[in-house]
Homo-oligomer: A and B are copies of this chain.
């Protein structure tokens, strides 16, 4: 019998869960500090809620659930597994609009499912960490989202990270300036999105294949190259580089793009006033894959990692698909799975997270003293300790070995002598030292020793 998890899915053993909980805990804590509130939606949605929201490719990758009961036609699906956290958010905003605050700021950390071909680092069940602010078109939203994402990264130990920022309106203006016909804008964005991966030559080929005039493509790529050089110039601080890039954009864009450029400039100004400012980089070549973005777009990069640790942007029309009226919205999704991989490779998890089942294991002296062992365990727990009781009256050496294999740092022994004098022997499995202490002091002794460690 196959006892593995389903293809592309993972079991998380205790050590895995602890690492995941640590990262999710930091994310939640940071977002709570920004006044974002937790939301959870069901894993299963009505199939119509999801179909048609993610493009043709997306529709194919949705896990569909067989309809049950008498009215069901064979093979008919009425439900589907959550594919992302944005569409459920849009549905929730439409459903509970009257109950929700005008500016609804929520974070959501839940799994999503995609019937993608599994490969290294790509799973069919994976967590998304989304944070979105609904109801305001102000660039304060963008600034706070970028700041908060920066705080998350800093708290997790990513000291050098870049918050890449662009604006879909600015990008459209650049395509105009490059002579790309509007009908080809979407194709051009899809090609540009691969700049990191394919380089300028590769993107030039892609643009050509999609019918973008070569002269225009060349001008665009030259512009991006010049901007990248400016950003890479040694000694330039974030603010002066961003100012230079904004000035170049100003020179290139038509007047019709003034509002988009002003929004971009405003985000730079607002984030510049905060500690995240020095990580911000205006990157006019940033395209983002999804078609629903309407304004700012962002992506988070860390040195030495191809691809991003997260990204997002403004999508003022998506909620309207559910609500019938447009509602301004902007969000960032952090790539939890990728963060976990990078943090594992770079040994960024705090030392205390390593699997340690308990602080102390209570050994069993013999069958008669088991009730007393359980009583001792209860006493130690009331000292705030995590206490495991060895369940059987095995030889004491075997019990010590078991505790050591579980990396439990202390064991207690109450043998006949200790019992007669109301004492407990506390043994450190790391140093091998042991001491007899009055039973009522056993908890405090272990607590003190744990703090010293």
Which A residues are within 8 Å of any B CB, using their own CB? 1-6, 9-14, 16-18, 20-21, 32-35, 37-46, 48-49, 60, 63-66, 68, 74-77, 79, 81, 91-92, 94-96, 99-103, 105-106, 111, 113, 115, 124-125, 133, 136, 138, 140-141, 143-144, 147, 151, 269-270, 272-275, 321-323, 355, 357-358, 361, 364, 370-372, 374-375, 377-378, 381, 385-392, 402, 405-406, 408
Query: Contact at B374–A147, with CB atoms within 8 Å?
Result: yes
A-B pairs with beta carbons under 8 Å apart, 8 shown = A3-B92, A11-B95, A13-B96, A32-B386, A37-B355, A43-B43, A44-B124, A147-B374
Query: Contact at A374–B33, with CB atoms within 8 Å?
Result: no
Copies in the complex: 2
Given contacts A35-B358, A63-B79, A66-B77, 16 further A-B contacts (CB under 8 A): A3-B322, A3-B323, A6-B49, A12-B40, A13-B96, A13-B99, A16-B40, A35-B357, A35-B361, A44-B125, A64-B65, A74-B74, A75-B75, A103-B390, A143-B374, A273-B371
Give every chain B residue within 8 A of A79 (Cβ-Cβ). Answer: 6, 63
Question: Taking A77-B66, A392-B136 as contacts, is the C-beta distance between A5 and B35 under 8 angstroms?
Answer: no
Question: Taking A5-B42, A17-B40, A65-B64 as contacts, is the C-beta distance between A273 and B34 under 8 angstroms?
Answer: no
Question: Taking A79-B63, A125-B44 as contacts, is the C-beta distance between A378 and B5 under 8 angstroms?
Answer: no
The CA-CA distance from A47 to B258 in the complex, in Å, is 56
Question: Taking A32-B386, A378-B147, A388-B34 as contacts, is the C-beta distance between A42 and B274 under 8 angstroms?
Answer: no
Query: Contact at B3–A95, with CB atoms within 8 Å?
Result: yes
Of the candidates B48, B111, B270, B323, which one forms a contact with A374 in the assembled complex, judged by CB atoms under 8 Å apart? Answer: B270
Question: Taking A3-B95, A136-B392, A138-B392 as contacts, is the C-beta distance between A386 and B33 under 8 angstroms?
Answer: yes
